[in-house]
Amino acid sequence: METKRHPVAGVDYPRNWHELLAWFPDDAACLRYLERLRWGDGFVCRFCGAVDGGWWQMADGLRRCRACRRETSVTAGTVLAGTRTPLVSWFAAVWYVVNQKNGVSALGLQRVLGLGSYQTAWAWLHKLRRAMVRPGRELDGAVEVDETLIGGVKPGRRGRGAAGKALVAIAVERRDGGPGRTRMRRITDASKDVLTDFVLDNVQRGSDVHTDGWTGYNGVGEHRFSHIATSISASGDHAHVAMPEVHRVASLLKRWLLGTHQGAVSHDQLDYYLDEFTFRFNRRHSHHRGLLFHRLLEQAVATDPHPYKTLKVPDAA
């Protein structure tokens, strides 16, 4: 079985800002790069599903499928669909986003790119956030799972079920020398069904799943996982000692939300900020920021469109 070649710096993606400008002087160059990312393994018609069944290149940059004769562009059906802004500006935005280690705010993006409005910068960031986590990439090996509350200090009940806060489930691979990859999701509650679904969606079968003694995790062992539950109160250890990696990631997440976004993240949009944190955390050891640029654009052309009016609609929780 042929393995896919790993992208190479200076060949598959620019290594620095100067190369970015040289590679993408106009929208035509941007379109060619996106075509390489989206259809590098063969043109796929988004209407009839024909895989590399032949196509004609039209004068206006569209491709016409030989099978169904319908026309499409490389940005149609993607995060970049319908944009009226030059693609060179989008490429500059993606480069800026991935090159800021701690993330960017909409105001910062607006200032750097000279965008006409804050709303445009906000929409661009949220479109890109929706492309930051590729589905189906499950965690494996030894995986710690826990929940954490996102939100400021409020009076009333503490812990699971606290009012006015968002509950987030976090899974982290346990690796020698520290945490591996992570996955996280805002959840409605810490019930057995919800937590079991989170593990099933994000952890590869056969993995060792480490949790605390909360009864909501009792369903994990009913599936093809080795479930190791540790009663924190009975062990005598603090939670961050019994499960250090997931607590470390939870702490970093809260620090990032407070430092980069001043904690001003609504519950309706929290999932997408979690995706951004996940994208950055899982690629924190990347030697080339240009590879992150490549990956984000690669995922952007594989992600469905998100018009501005849909970005403002609260998610059903």
In a domain, 105, yes or no: yes
Tokens of 103: 């993330």
Backbone dihedral angles phi then psi of residue 244, each to the nearest 5 degrees: -70, -35
Domain containing 24: what range? 17-40+75-131+289-309
- 143 within 8 A of 174, measured Cβ to Cβ: yes
Please report whether residue 185 resides in a domain.
Answer: yes
- CATH at residue 222: 3.30.420.10
| Euclidean distance between CA atoms 62 and 72, whole angstroms | 5
114, 165: one domain: no
My answer on whether 148 and 260 are in the same domain is yes
Same domain, 157 and 224: yes
Q: Are residues 261 and 177 located together in one domain of the fold?
A: yes
Asked if residue 147 and residue 115 are part of one domain, the reply reads: no
Position 55 in a domain:
no
Give pLDDT, residue 315: 42
Examine the domain organization and report whether 297 and 232 are in the same domain: no
Same domain, 147 and 258: yes
Domain membership of residue 281 (yes or no) is: no
Is residue 210, in this structure, part of any structural domain at all? yes
Q: What are phi and psi of 316, to 5 degrees?
A: -75, 120
Say yes or no: 124 and 155 in one domain.
no
Residues 121 and 36 in one domain: yes
Q: How many distinct structural domains can be found in the chain? A: 2
- Cβ contacts of 154 within 8 Å, gap of 6 or more: 162, 163, 164, 165
Residue 275 lies inside a defined structural domain of this protein:
no
Tell me which residues of the chain have a pLDDT lower than 70.
1-4, 152-164, 233-238, 240, 262-264, 313-317
Q: pTM for the whole thing?
A: 0.85
24 and 124, same structural domain?
yes
Instruction: Please state, rounded to an integer, the average pLDDT across all residues of the chain.
Output: 88
- State pLDDT tens for residues 166-224: 999 999 999 988 899 999 999 999 999 999 999 999 999 999 999 999 999 999 999 99
The candidate with the shortest Cα–Cα distance to 296, out of 270, 316, 317, 278, is: 278
* pLDDT of 158: 52
Q: Is residue 107 part of a domain?
A: yes
Same domain, 148 and 249: yes
d(CA 114, CA 82) in angstroms, rounded, equals 20
Looking at the structure, tell me whether residues 111 and 172 fall in a common domain. Answer: no
- Under 8 Å between Cβ of 88 and 297: no
Residues 87 and 130: their CA atoms lie apart, in Å, by 18
Residue 204 is assigned to a structural domain of this protein? yes
Question: Which long-range contacts link 161-169 to residues 24+ away (Cβ below 8 Å)?
Answer: 161/189, 161/190, 166/267, 166/270, 168/250, 168/253, 168/270, 168/274, 169/145, 169/194, 169/195, 169/198
Write 41-47 long-range contacts (CB < 8 A, 24+): 45/70, 45/72, 46/72, 46/76, 46/77, 47/72
